Structure 1
């Protein structure tokens, strides 16, 4: 397992980590991740920070899936390329850590967030190798929701694509940008795939079935805080 593999696991399991640790323990974990960023490309400092990350998570239950995988992670003998973290992956993990006041988040809420992610990943989706055209070159620039699956890698929910051409649907691209899907892909995916009182159905099921303006108005109502 490389450092980047570890970062993906941490990013995916953040709600579960918070649900299993006390606020003080979680704060220690946060600090270890920030030390990993501060280590830069100093291989020795990176190894030290990675040890701190693992130690901070020793309080996870032994039967916990992440705990078992962490026990398999050893950076000491790994070659430098496998030790140094990808800066973008590390930045994304830190962005998630800073986007929520995790230490004060109730464990029950964190567990719910984990369950929501698992539900969203059961929806039909395609991998990056199935993207075409501009979407393949720059999925984020194309306004696509990208969900990270710890087992399958990046997943792009199918409702975003025209079934005939395979190209992104313009209305989905527009609404994704309204929902800031580049910053909160899980929240945007939950809006599309969850029940919607105003539309009386999941918005994703209505793409191509109702006027685009109706979907756009529903998203606007959410952002405006009214109509629900």
Structure 2
């Protein structure tokens, strides 16, 4: 575990605990309930499951981006980057301590919302060219990396992998796609990540997927980073 990131994680959780009242005042009911839901998910994560700790901690961090820019907790968010090392067991115990305090003064958090049927816009994403699980495995020479976007295929009940994620030359996944998908939490929200790649981006001057191999990787990563950081 990265010691610097561990320290930043602990400082962030300590700041949340020190500013519980102002956090509640700064967020509306829906935003506050979402924060509690994500804290609960983090508190219930197995401490030794680095991948799940990373994912659930990132979701807490993203919920805190709803705070005003000058709020002390928001100002501390940059010290814990989305792509940093897993915050580890101390993030889990910190979330458990926070929930124990919040439950004394706060309404119950709402359960995690259940997935809803895709709307027409998401149906368009579903129709984008894609590979079957077997085809993706062949391209990757083994199990596809978990960072790749995969969406349900209504035709056969399996998963499909949007084809833009794979280079036209050797057919393997673009490294920048894996990096951006980590940033966009594609494992948690594959529809949202796919929408970012396949929707027009005014900053980039086109759809990010169409610019793979044409723009420098750092520009694609920067555009996704601006979204993840709430800019």
Superposition TM-score, scaled by structure 2 size: 0.48
